[in-house]
Amino acid sequence: MALEHGGRVHAAAKRYGIPENAWLDLSTGINPDAWPVPALPVGIWQHLPQDDDGLIDAACNYYGTTHLLPVAGSQAAIGALPELRKHCTVALAQTAYAEHEHAWRQHGHQVFCVSDEEILQSTAEVVVIVNPNNPTGRLYSISELLALHERLVQCSGLLVVDEAFMDATPEQSLAPFCPRVGLIVLRSLGKFFGLAGARVGFVLAAENILQPLAELLGPWPIATPARHVAKLAMADRVWHENTRKDLRVASLRLSGMLTRYGFAPAGGSGLFQWVKCLDASSVHQTLAKQGILTRLFDAPASLRFGMPSSEDNWARLDVALSGIKR
């Protein structure tokens, strides 16, 4: 069964009778000001993907590591990693990107869902942490994670850290500590770069994990045009720096706006804010009736707000929030 994700503007348009192009989609954590993709070289669609096209070097430089595997979005690795391990116990956070739990359960592993705090003390053989967590925004420190990794590795365990939302705060990343036995870091080009449709992600790990994973996923996981765009985007340091600054400002602005209208976020990251409120469902509907799509979570009742882009969109959200009667 497919899990629910943000970004379902088509379904919202049908449900609320508002044309697709009239929506302000805040339901994902995808940067609305994506890396500007240039015109593609002539002939690029005709060429099979090449391992030595410079993508791996660009990614190693960007992440500060030496071993990685490009995959068709980090989702491809999330689905495949449970196949690489014999049945075992797995700890995950209760409120986190649900595809991890789904994948480990589907492959017959015994999954325990614990709180964002309890997970650091887990005695499971595999621990999966989303850092910063989506949607709670809990950011685990490098020292917390290295201590957990140290404990796991003594019992041949495995720590998987999903850093899909880490690009805004690279100084908190475990990427420079890879490759290390028993450690897997997942990265995505979908969020910070805003290139979710390109389906490019990376697995940072030791060779004993990368090699069987590559075999499992098969040849040519990423299309040549997507590899080309990813390589250029990852080398664009000026854009990285400017975008980090812009996202810091936007994230604070969003948190401030939500707080002003009684929706103080319980957590957030550079790409979203998370609001816990008992009336999340009715707030979600009130905003949707005005063509503003948020991501609704049932347990706990909460809403995730992605970043608006233009000033018009900020103003539109401001007006909609100011009109909510509670």
Ligand X SMILES: Cc1ncc(COP(=O)(O)O)c(C=O)c1O
Nearer to ligand X, 164 or 275 (CB): 164
Judged by beta carbon, residue 133 or residue 243, the one nearer ligand X is: 133
Q: Which two tokens stand for residue 21?
A: 């192009």
Distance of CA 204 to the CA centre of its chain: 15
Closest-approach residue to ligand X (CB)? 73
For residue 40, give the DSSP letter. P
Q: Which is nearer to ligand X, 33 or 99 (CB)?
A: 99
71 alpha carbon, distance to own chain's centre: 14
d(CA 195, CA 209): 26
Name 161's bridge partners. Answer: 129, 185
Which residues 6+ apart lie within 8 Å of 1 measured at CB?
Answer: none
Nearer to ligand X, 188 or 255 (CB): 188
- Residue 299's closest CA among 161, 101, 77, 10? 101
Give whichever of 63 and 97 is closer to ligand X, judged by the CB atom.
97
Indicate the residue among 93 and 287 with the shorter CB distance to ligand X: 93
Length of the chain, in residues: 326
- CB 272 → ligand X: shortest distance, Å? 9
Shortest distance (Å) from residue 39 CB to ligand X: 24
Q: Are 55 and 227 in contact (CB under 8 A)?
A: yes
CB of 257 to ligand X, least distance (A): 23
Tokens 């103080």 — which residue? 264
CB of 324 to ligand X, least distance (A): 26
> How many degrees, rounded to 5, is the angle at CA 274 between CA 273 and CA 277?
140
CB of 240 to ligand X, least distance (A): 17
**Least spacing, CB of residue 100 vs ligand X, in Å:** 8
Q: Note the residues at the interface with ligand X (CB under 6 A).
A: 73-75, 97, 130, 134, 162, 164, 188, 190, 196, 201
